Amino acid sequence: MVREGKPTNRLTLVMVLTMLLLCIGPLSVVSAQDGAVAEGVTIKLDGEIMKMTDPVRTQDGRLYVPVSRIADLLGASVSWDKDNEEATIHTVLKDKIVFGIGVPVVYFNGGRYMMDAAPFMTEGRIYVPLRHAAELMHAKVNWNAEDAILDLVTVQPAVTTEEYGIDEISKEIGSTNAELLKRNGIDAKAELKVGTKLKVVVPSILDTPAKPYTEADLMLLAKITMVEAGYEPYGGQLGIANIILNRVKDSRFPDTIKGVIYSGKQFPPAHNGLLDKSKPNASSLRAAKDALNGKNNIEDAVYFFNPKVSKGEFWSSLDVIVTIGHHSFAK
């Protein structure tokens, strides 16, 4: 039920939540905070009010819901990988979705796509961006600003007939044949048989594929992370991986992972044989993968050092962004 309040408070709520749903600003995943509770929001499923034991939350200009609850509402199943902090969802339409905590890239049917918001965990619950999650589970979200109601609408697949083919379906949903075929994993040259079921909710993320990386890049990044911070907690390992990637983006350094690692004197293991012998453990592999998927806990730092060991004018002149474990990360 929507809570009653003073008119000015209610108006403020409506304006804020409307902006949250419409905002398309960029995401920062550095030092993610627990989402604030969005008070007074009612969620409906196909017109019926749903009970929410955990609140809707807001963060980085987006509305979030617990992944287990929205999956349950939309008939999907969820499994949790605590080691990699990933929630895997299997939908009723046989789609597979993988969300990672603090990771703006979502895996959808094997593809990697960039979201404008990243999942987070608070009070033991995994929260995912509402609109992205709904679209990926073949549902739509309607926002009733006047009554502060979020209405989830399940959408059934379209079934082709002799008179109702892909041209008619695409026109009806406001999409293109190419987008519809891509959504359904169908080759553009394939002939659709009568009775073919087509998923018609085309998630907006399909327009934003994530930057690809090679297995060689992943392993090299994991190896340098292991040799430089294998003894550090996961957060410290993630920081090392991001130092490399931040340098790739910085014009002062080489523009490839391999080029950064083997250039200069910051990474002695690349020149003394230790890197070649490095065998990444599960944590360093996760840190490398998460960094490549956009999870960043050190902002734009391009240097790291142990403040108890590295002394001198150069190191003291740096702007330290954060210290994790034994390493300070600076620019």
Question: What digits encode the pLDDT tens for the residues 110-136?
Answer: 999 999 999 999 999 999 999 999 999
pLDDT value at 4 more than 80: no
pLDDT value at 2 more than 80: no
pLDDT value at 20 more than 90: no
What mean pLDDT do residues 28-39 have? 61
Nearest CA to 246 among 236, 235, 257? 257
Provide the whole-model pTM: 0.86
Identify how many contiguous H helices and E strands the chain contains and give both numbers.
12, 19
Nearest CA to 40 among 62, 18, 55, 53? 55
pLDDT of residue 33: 53
pLDDT value at 327 more than 70: yes
Beta strands in 101-208 (DSSP E): 105-108, 111-114, 120-122, 125-129, 139-144, 149-154, 158-159, 197-198
3-state helix, strand, coil in the chain (%, to 5): 35, 25, 45
Alpha carbon 206 to its chain centroid, in Å, reads 13
Which helix (H) or strand (E) is 86 found in, with range?
A: strand 86-90
Number of Cβ atoms within 10 Å of the Cβ of 75: 13
Pair type for strands 197-198 and 303-305: unpaired
pLDDT value at 12 more than 90: no
Q: Return d(Cα 140, Cα 26) in angstroms, integer.
A: 22
Q: Return d(Cα 20, Cα 163) in angstroms, integer.
A: 41
Mean of the per-residue pLDDT values for the chain?
89
pLDDT value at 315 more than 60: yes
pLDDT of residue 144: 84
What mean pLDDT do residues 69-85 have? 96
What mean pLDDT do residues 235-261 have? 97
pLDDT of residue 198: 97
pLDDT value at 1 more than 50: no
pLDDT of residue 31: 33
pLDDT of residue 264: 81
44 falls in which pLDDT band (50, 70, 90)?
very high
Integer CA distances (angstroms), 213 to 206, 209, 249, 257, in order: 18, 12, 14, 10
What mean pLDDT do residues 236-258 have? 97
What mean pLDDT do residues 262-266 have? 86
pLDDT value at 187 more than 50: yes
